[in-house]
Amino acid sequence: MSAVTVSFPNTAAPWQLPSRGKVAMASLIFAEAAIFTIFVVAYLFYIGKSLTGPTPREVLEVPIFFTVCLLSSSLTIHIASKCLQRGKQGGFMALWLLTIVLGGLFLYGTGMEWHRLIYEHGLTISTNLFGTTYYSLVGLHAFHVTVGLVMLLTVAVFGIAGRVGVSQSGRVEVLSMYWHFVDAVWVVVFTVVYILGR
Amino acid sequence: MSSNVITIPGVQIEARPWVDELHQWLTTVDHKRLGILYILSALLFLVIGGVEAIIIRIQLIHSHNNFVSPQVFNRMFTMHGTTMIFFVAMPLLFGFANYLVPLMIGARDMAFPRLNALSFWLSFLGALLLYFSFLGGGGLYGAGNAPDAGWWAYAPLGARAFSPGHSFDYWTLALLVSGFGSMGTAINIIATVLCLRCPGMTLSRMPLFAWLNLVMAGMVLLVISPLTAAQIMLLVDRYLGGHFFDTQAGGSAVLWMHFFWIFGHPEVYVLVIPAFAFASEIIPVFSRKPIFGYPVMVAATVSIGFVSMSVWAHHMFTVGMNSYANSFFAITTMAVGVPTGIKIFNWIGTMWGGRIQFKTAMLFCIAFLFQFLLAGLTGIMQAAVPFDWQLSLSYFVVAHFHYVIVGGILFAMFGAFYYWYPKMTGRMLSERLGKWHFWLFLIGFHMTFTVMHIPGLLGMPRRIYTYEPGRGWDTLNLIVSIGAFIQAIAILVFVANLIISYFKGAPAGNDPWDAWTLEWSVSSPPPAYNFATVPTVASRRPLWDQKHPEDPDSRYE
Amino acid sequence: MRTESSTLRSLAQAILPLFWSATGVWASEPNGPAANATNIFAPASTPAKSIADLSLFVLIITGLIFAVVFALIVYCLVKFRDRATAAGREPAQVYGSTQIELAWTVIPILIVVVLFLASARVIHAIQDAPEPPNAVDVTVIGHQYWWEFRYPKLGIVTANELHIPVSEPGHPTPTFMQLLSADTDHSFWVPEIAGKTDLVPNHPNKMWMDPKRTGLFLGQCAQYCGVQHAKMLLRVSVDSPADFAAWVQAQQKSAVEDETVAAGRRVFESNACMNCHAITGTAANGRFGPDLTHLMSRATIAAGAAQNTHANLRLWVKDPSAFKPGCLMPAMQLSDADLDAVVSYMETLR
């Protein structure tokens, strides 16, 4: 037997609070930004301090094409999300898949670059300070891109099965926040590694 | 004014088989049950960490003692520190936050119940990983041993070269795993507080408990991440041949210190701010007055949150930073004392002009006030950098931080137990046993930690498994150790109280303390859904308004 | 503020001697002078003294704060405790007061400013002190679990027991030390001479001291460095100028060559001893362990873990873990004959 008595004055105005998905994702982004900051600080701190081995200038090639791919995937996911909000299924699916392709291209580019660095220049994570900080920072970012791609693919599968509609647009919006974050981190990593560090 | 009364007459509830009950507990996503699981797990590790402390104190009871080998001693202080911070203090605070925040803001559960469960189990898994090291961590000293590099594991002591085997990896993984759990809880608290408040509860009408846990959660996000990053870097060094902290390859040991303390210092504020939250709820009720200066308390807490991010290198004053860096961290460390002092004054202002009731919960909070004041002042002493060049790495520091964590945080936590146990279980804790617990613990605490400052002033460094006679440290260490035994007895009294009162305590009713926040409007323990109807509030103390309709807070806010 | 600090300074100068002698008397053993020689309030050198003066200033201020707030809380608890006569009535519900909040914000800020300025002055005085040309230079290298001392300008290498000259008022001869580490972090702490400074690998530090009285000063490693951190003790002998000169001369000589212990020397050179230890004038040139050229000039062995007696030396060589379990010197598994021979040899190394 339970008895609950509540008795409070009512308030007049409508009670609107932020969406918990957005707040949670914003919090997660905040925390992830802190992790990346530490890796970036380590990278910056160790610029020029390697005792041996290949230097950034000797081995790094600026990945312009793949950066453009990743950054434009932010645009495509944004438009895809807007399409979904307006109920345009077709537009949403097309742009969503394009986003996945562009993200996949970026990962492919990273893989190619690593292959070149390891096999042509002998730069690994244990070679020197540059190797350690480079692979850790770029690798951490690539890991986040991978996780993002997995989530995007999951939504794509549901989308193809016809289960993603206007009522899922809030969740899709939350996911696209994550994707934008991943792109923003790449802007920072790119600047630090390929511009400042060389 | 509407009034909802829901009664369910004539219902018989069958007792479930115990396996079923256990299954319910293991798979629960209810914030109240998860809160209790956090608290029970923390109490378990409190006892284990306490045993480790007793072993340390027996070894140090006189010079050149042989109770344990140096290897075991070093493992004991490493495990004691790691356990107490990560697997006692944090889970206890998360447990209370989990239990109380939704109730206090008129919500039915946390924003993400399943994430909540995942966070708890990750945290528990982290603890198990750490303790598995006793069985699984191979190393130079034989089969199975715990990490022994101290709870900060300064580089390069944590490198493969100096910590071979896996004992150190258990430390790293335990912190990494439980760190993810902490982040999950932090995200949950933030989303709950920002998105699930009941109608009428604007941010400026939330109980201070909710506000302070919100600030704490924000800090956790910002602060656990550097630790996670540092642990990943350490694993890269240990397993992938990386050189983040490899001084032979040009790496920097000081960088580890910076990363660790960027986590480590705000972490202690993560621990103390919820303790402030307890005091801010308990002191007003037992003074029969509202908290003095609610907006200032919020502002002070937020500024503590910010300023505490800028003080970390005060743990590194002896490391050889230049005089400008040292001066910078001196001023920021002293500055963070200002909002903290403001809070102490506000608590005094709350009691001033009140009608103070010396229930056990209040006794613990009053002791908290005195002890936290002293701890803050010894902190200011260490912020005077040259003084710290003597005090750092000595037993003065050990005394200082135990004053904060035990004298401040643990005392406030005991207050929270005595205050909210009735709500959680429907029974009152015994006031008689409570007073025994309080006085025994107080005496033991002061014998240990007040006296402990003195060996520090007389040159005794920390983390030493034994010490030389003739330095004047013997008698002092003896007193310190005896105090530890007294505290252990007090803890046993406390645990006995928890257990006995569960079965024999006086029934609590909804509102045994005549308090004013929403959790006291529901039954003890609350129903699974918390509120039959989501409440609407018009002031900071909804129940005061209800009990004093002629003079409601809503008229003054 | 100037007036305030100089008033406090004269107050401190009046109280300090009483304070120091009180702690010294209370903490020391009944027989022998200052057996407790690690009291931070018994400074014997300028850095330690500046620190002790600042510390007293800080203690007085924080002590006053504590007294005031403590009294406030006690008063509050007594005056406003619940009485039976007031049962049932709630006291006046006061929500706050802007003026009071302002007062107790501004006053702490002022206190912080004062404390900070006092500290900053001492930070700069100690950390940025220039090195005079006649200073004695010592390079300290921290090892797991012993101290290496090198005097680059004097050509001396020794271990664990530091000798420095006293610094007389008319003729100051400070000692400036460079702090390095061969392995993990350590910290050089001799409380009566100076605050501690860490020895961090790949991060050279410096510190200085100018002890004003001769004598023996004790200390130990303060930064956890591994299993035997507790037994990495320090002995600093502050010598008169004449004694210091004599010590330097003796240390600069090569090892004593004594034919009667040739057998022991052969044991030393044919076992792995010389891989870790150096003895100048012989083939032994190892740097992993302490330099043994003048081993018998030291009062202790194993970084202070034992007195330098025949029995201890023999036991140490036979089985180092008897004194320091977990230290990095292995038991060499010598036969008794070899052991006696090598110890006899080592005892000639004055």
> What is the domain partition of chain A in residue ranges?
21-196
- On chain B, the residues whose CB falls within 8 A of the CB of A24 are 111-112, 187-188, 190-191
Instruction: Please tell me what DSSP assigns to residue B551.
Output: S
CA nearest neighbour of C66 among B530, B279, B373, B149: B373
> Cβ of B459: how many Cβ atoms within 10 Å?
29
CA distance A91 to chain B (A): 31
- Per the DSSP assignment, residues forming a β-bridge with B394 are B461
Q: What is the pLDDT of residue A5?
A: 42
Give the pLDDT band (50/70/90) at residue B387.
very high
Phi, psi of C217, deg, nearest 5: -120, 135
Residue to mutate among B109, B240, B243, B537, with most A CBs inside 10 A, is B243
Domains of chain C by start residue, with CATH: 2-81+98-127 (1.10.287), 137-238 (2.60.40.420), 259-346 (2.60.40.420)
Q: Average pLDDT of chain B?
A: 94
Strands C306-307 and C300-301: antiparallel
pLDDT at B143 > cutoff 80: no
Any residues with CB less than 8 A from the CB of A182 and at least 6 apart, and which? A141, A144, A145, A148
Closest residue in A to B523 (Cα) is A4
CA distance A45 to chain B (A): 9
Tokens 């209790």 correspond to B36
> Cβ of C85: how many Cβ atoms within 10 Å?
6
Q: What angle do CA B260, B246, B171 make, to 5 degrees?
A: 45
pLDDT at C191 > cutoff 50: yes
Superfamily of domain B18-555: Cytochrome c oxidase-like, subunit I domain (1.20.210.10)
- Asked if A140 reaches chain B (Cβ–Cβ under 8 Å), the answer is yes
- Asked if A31 reaches chain B (Cβ–Cβ under 8 Å), the answer is yes
- CB A104, CB A73: distance < 8 Å: no
Q: How many A×B Cβ pairs under 8 Å?
A: 168
The SS3 assignment for B4 reads strand
How far is C-alpha C97 from the geometric centre of its chain's CA atoms? 50
pLDDT in tens, A69-116: 999 999 999 999 999 999 999 999 999 999 999 999 999 999 999 999
Q: What is the pLDDT of residue B138?
A: 57
pLDDT at B383 > cutoff 50: yes
CA distance C266 to chain B (A): 33
Q: How distant, in Å, are the alpha carbons of B150, B352, B370, C72, C293 from that of C78?
A: 44, 10, 15, 10, 70
pLDDT at C51 > cutoff 60: yes
Q: What is the pLDDT of residue C25?
A: 38
Any residues with CB less than 8 A from the CB of C125 and at least 6 apart, and which? C50
- On chain C, the residues whose CB falls within 8 A of the CB of B391 are 40
Closest residue in A to B115 (Cα) is A24
Entry field: residues in chain A: 198
Instruction: Extract the tokens encoding C194.
Output: 């100076």
- Asked if A119 reaches chain B (Cβ–Cβ under 8 Å), the answer is no
pLDDT at B105 > cutoff 60: yes
d(CA C134, CA B198): 75
Amino acid at C55: S
Region for A13 from its dihedrals, namely left if φ exceeds 0, alpha if ψ lies in -120 to 50, beta otherwise = beta
- On chain B, the residues whose CB falls within 8 A of the CB of A49 are 250
Put simply, the answer to whether B320 touches C179 (Cβ < 8 Å) is yes
Write the residue in C29, C54, C94 that is nearest to B386 by C-beta. C54
CA distance B97 to chain A (A): 17
Mean pLDDT of B277-289: 97
Closest residue in B to C65 (Cα) is B377
Task: Indicate if the alpha-carbon torsion angle A75, A80, A83, A85 is positive or negative.
Answer: negative
Q: Do chains C and B touch (3 or more CB pairs under 8 A)?
A: yes
Put simply, the answer to whether B243 touches A129 (Cβ < 8 Å) is yes
The count of C-alpha atoms lying within 13 angstroms of the C-alpha of C143, restricted to the half-sphere facing its C-beta, is 18
Q: Where are the alpha helices (DSSP H) in B288-359?
A: 294-307, 323-351
Mean pLDDT of C56-79: 97
Strands C146-151 and C156-159: antiparallel
- Asked if A64 reaches chain B (Cβ–Cβ under 8 Å), the answer is no
Give the pLDDT band (50/70/90) at residue C23.
very low
CA nearest neighbour of A114 among A132, A139, A148, A150: A139
Residue to mutate among B4, B12, B222, B244, with most A CBs inside 10 A, is B244
Residue window 189-218, chain C: list those with CB within 8 Å of chain B: 189, 191, 194-198, 200-206, 218
- On chain B, the residues whose CB falls within 8 A of the CB of A133 are 244
Give me the sheet containing C233-239, strands edge to edge. C161-165, C233-239, C215-221, C186-189, C197-199
Closest residue in B to A28 (Cα) is B187
Q: What is the pLDDT of residue B144?
A: 57
- Asked if B19 reaches chain A (Cβ–Cβ under 8 Å), the answer is no
CA distance C117 to chain B (A): 9
- CB B104, CB B517: distance < 8 Å: yes
- On chain A, the residues whose CB falls within 8 A of the CB of B240 are 125-126
SS (H, E, C) C283-331: CCECCCCCCCCCHHHCCEECCCCEECCHHHHHHHHHCHHHCCCCCCCCC
Q: Which chains touch C (3 or more CB pairs under 8 A)?
A: B
Closest residue in C to B291 (Cα) is C95
d(CA B488, CA A162): 62
Q: What is the pLDDT of residue B135?
A: 84
Closest residue in A to B218 (Cα) is A27
d(CA B132, CA C307): 41
Q: What is the pLDDT of residue B14?
A: 77
- On chain B, the residues whose CB falls within 8 A of the CB of C39 are 457-459, 472
Q: Do chains A and C touch (3 or more CB pairs under 8 A)?
A: no
Q: Peptide bond before C145: cis, by omega within 30 degrees of 0?
A: yes
Q: Which chains touch B (3 or more CB pairs under 8 A)?
A: A, C
Put simply, the answer to whether B523 touches A8 (Cβ < 8 Å) is no
H helix count then E strand count, chain C: 8, 12
- CB B245, CB B233: distance < 8 Å: yes
Q: What is the pLDDT of residue C22?
A: 42
Q: Average pLDDT of chain C?
A: 90
Instruction: Extract the tokens encoding A129.
Output: 């300070």
Instruction: Extract the tokens encoding B298.
Output: 């919020």
Closest residue in A to B527 (Cα) is A2
pLDDT at C4 > cutoff 60: no
Mean pLDDT of B67-75: 94
Give the pLDDT band (50/70/90) at residue A10.
low
Instruction: Extract the tokens encoding B32.
Output: 């109240």
> Cβ of B248: how many Cβ atoms within 10 Å?
13
pLDDT in tens, A142-154: 999 999 999 999 9
Domain boundaries, chain B: 18-555
Q: What is the pLDDT of residue A13?
A: 62
Mean pLDDT of C256-265: 92
CA distance A40 to chain B (A): 11
Q: What is the pLDDT of residue B165?
A: 82
DSSP C155-207: TEEEESEEEEE--BTTB---EEEEEEESSS-EEEE-TTT---EEEBTTB-EEE
Q: What is the pLDDT of residue B142?
A: 46
Give the pLDDT band (50/70/90) at residue B41.
very high
Residue window 173-212, chain B: list those with CB within 8 Å of chain A: 183, 186-188, 190-192, 194-197, 199-200
Instruction: Extract the tokens encoding C253.
Output: 């000589």
Q: Is B550 buried (19+), middle (13-18) or exposed (0-12) by CB count in 10 A?
A: exposed
pLDDT at C21 > cutoff 60: no
Q: What is the pLDDT of residue A90?
A: 92
Q: What is the pLDDT of residue B137?
A: 61
Give me the sheet containing C156-159, strands edge to edge. C156-159, C146-151, C136-143, C175-181, C205-209
d(CA C248, CA B252): 36
Mean pLDDT of B110-139: 91
Q: What is the pLDDT of residue C12?
A: 47
Task: Indicate if the alpha-carbon torsion angle A94, A96, A98, A100 is positive or negative.
Answer: negative
Put simply, the answer to whether B200 touches A50 (Cβ < 8 Å) is no
Any residues with CB less than 8 A from the CB of C117 and at least 6 apart, and which? C1
- On chain A, the residues whose CB falls within 8 A of the CB of B230 are 38
Superfamily of domain A21-196: Cytochrome c oxidase, subunit III, four-helix bundle (1.20.120.80)
Instruction: Please tell me what DSSP assigns to residue A9.
Output: P
Mean pLDDT of B252-277: 97
Q: Do chains B and A touch (3 or more CB pairs under 8 A)?
A: yes
Write the residue in B1, B200, B259 that is nearest to A11 by C-beta. B200
Tokens 């995200």 correspond to B187
d(CA B125, CA B108): 27
Mean pLDDT of C237-255: 96
- Asked if C350 reaches chain B (Cβ–Cβ under 8 Å), the answer is no
Q: How distant, in Å, are the alpha carbons of B87, B189, B402 from that of B213?
A: 18, 7, 22
Q: What is the pLDDT of residue B236?
A: 96
- On chain C, the residues whose CB falls within 8 A of the CB of B457 are 23, 39-41
Closest residue in C to B319 (Cα) is C198
